[in-house]
Amino acid sequence: MRNRLSKSIGIIFCTFLLLALIGCQAVGGLDLNKTILKQFEVTHQETSQLFEIEIDFNDELFSDMDSHDASLLKSFQKITFKIDQMKMDESGNQLLKGSFSNLKGSIPFTFQSDKSAIRIDLDGLSRPLVFKWDELNGYEEGSVFSFKNQETIGSAVRKLIQDVAPYFVKGLPNPPVINVSQTNVPINGLPTNVLQTHIEMNGSQLGDWLSTYLENLVNDQEGLKATLRKAVEWMLELPPEVMEMMDPEFDREEEINIDEIVAEGFDELYPELQAAQEELASAREDEEWDQIFDEGVTLKADVYVDETLFVRKSDVELKFAPAILAEEDSPVRGIKVRYQSESWNVNGAVEIPQLTIPSFKLTVTDLQQMKAYQFVRLFKEDSMMYDILKNDLKVGRQSVFLNNFSEWRTPLYKNDKGTLYVPIRTTLSEFGVNLSPSTRAGEVRFYDDGTYQSVVLNVNSKKVTVNGESIMFTQKVIKHDGVTYAAADDLLGLLHATYTVSDFSGDYISLHATRDV
C-alpha cells in the first residue's frame, strides 16, 4: 500500500511539475491555477506513459575503455521505460504492464499488487517474484505503513497537498512562450476534445523564470504563514494511532499554541527562501551560468486538458546541450529527455483482475538465501535480462585475493621448487563454497555449485574424485603449518578460475583469481 501511495502521489507530482512550468496565470480561457490544483483530486485512473533518455557521448570517452566497457556504455545511449497500461482502482490494487529497453533490446515486465502481495513477472525469468507485504520491512502490523493505516494516511497526505499547494502554485509565472487552443486528439484510441497548452522555454530564459517565482514566494509572507497554519492543523487532525506512530512523544492533551508554532516555522523557513533567492542571484552572476543555461537547453511541452480540467495527455521534450558540454574534456555532448503520457477513466470504475500467486514463485526468503549467480541462472539464456546480468554486468564473476604477507588471512605458500600453493578452505570460502563433513582424517570434501562439481581431496595424494570420477592433480595436496594446501594450478583450474601472480620486493607474493559461474 505504501507502494500504491507513493505511485499515486508520484504521478500527481510529475503532473504538477509539468504544469508548474506552464504557470498559473489564465491563458486562452484556461485557468491554469485551477488546472494544477485539480490534479490532486485524482484517486484512481488508467494511464500509459513513456520515459526516454538519449545521451550523446563524446567519442573520445570510448578511446580509453576496453571493448567490453565501451560496448556496455554504448548500449545505454538510449534508454526507454514504457508503460503500456497502468491501472489503479479505489481499493489500491494495481496492474502495470510495460517494458524497459536499450539499444540491445527490450525487457517486458508485469507488476501487480493487492492488499496481500506484489507479483512481478520479468521476461525470461522462469518463476515470478512474489513478495507478501507482511514479509517486507516496514509493512508489518503495527507500523505506520501497515494496511490498517494506509487509507487514513493516503487521504491525509492528499488533503495536506491540497491545503499547501495553493501557496506554491499561485506564484508560478508563465513561460515566455505559451499558447492555448482547442483540438481533438486520440486518447487510448478514442477521439477526445481537449484544450492544448503549448509551452517553450530555453536555458537563458530559465533564470528569469526561477527568479520571478522565488520573488513571488518571498513576497507572499502571509501566504507562507497561512500554509504553515494549514500544515499544523492537518497534523493535529490525524487519527491518534497514526499520530502516535509518527511521533510517539506527541501528547494530545498538552495545550498547543498554533500561533506560536506557525511563528516559529515562519522564522525558520522564510530565511531559507530568502537565502535561495540570494543564491540564485549570485549563481546567475557566475560566468559558468551562461555556459550551462544557454539556448542549447530547450524545453517544449504540450499538455492536453479535458473539460473537467483533468490532464489527459502530455508530451514533453527537454534537450540539454549547453556550451559547457562542448568543451574537449566533457564526456557527454548532449542529453535528450522525453516524457509522454495518456490518462483515461479518471476517477472512474477501474477493473483489475484478481492477483494469482503460483506455487513455483520466488519469495523474499528464496532471494535472501540465493547467491547472485543462482538468480541469474533462473533466466533463459537467450533472454535480454540474462545477457545483461551475465555478460554485461558480470553478475556471476567471483574474485579471490590471496597473499603471503597479510597478518589477517591464511597465507599463500611457495615450496623450494617454486610451486605456488593456495589454502583450500580460504580459497573455497572466497568463492562462496563451504566444506562438507569429511568421512575420515586427511579428507577434504566440498560441493561447488558454481561448476556443479562434488569434489573429494586427500592430503598427501594427487588423486581427486570429481562427481564420482577419479582424476589426478599434478601436485599432492599437502599440510603446511597446520593448513591444508593445493597447488594453485590444480585447485583453481578445477574451479574453472584463472589467476595472475604479482611478485613484490623480497619474498612478498599476491594472487588474484577470477571465474565466471
Picking from 344, 367, 385, the residue at the C-terminal end of a domain is: 344
Q: How many domains does the chain have?
A: 2
Q: Tens of pLDDT along 143-156? A: 555 555 566 677 77
Measured distance CA(110)–CA(86) in Å, rounded: 10
User: Across residues 309-316, what is the average pLDDT?
Assistant: 94
Distances (CA, A) of 440 to 205, 383, 447: 80, 45, 17
Q: Tens of pLDDT along 104-142? A: 999 999 999 988 899 999 999 999 999 988 777 555 555
478-480 and 297-305 strand pairing: unpaired
| 291 and 182 housed in the same domain | yes
Q: Tens of pLDDT along 239-272? A: 776 676 666 666 666 778 899 999 999 999 999 9
DSSP code for 237: T
Q: Look at residue 234 in the predicted model and tell me its pLDDT.
A: 87
Task: Tell me whether residue 370 is in a domain.
Answer: no
Measured distance CA(75)–CA(203) in Å, rounded: 29
- pTM (two decimals): 0.80
Task: Tell me whether residue 239 is in a domain.
Answer: yes
Q: Which residues lie below 8 Å from residue 416, measured CB to CB, with a gap of 6+? A: none
| 337 and 413 housed in the same domain | no
Task: Tell me whether residue 367 is in a domain.
Answer: no
| 322 and 405 housed in the same domain | no
Task: Tell me whether residue 210 is in a domain.
Answer: yes
Q: Which domain holds residue 31?
A: 2-344
| 434 and 310 housed in the same domain | no
Q: Look at residue 160 in the predicted model and tell me its pLDDT.
A: 83
Using only C-alpha atoms, what is the Rg of the chain? 31
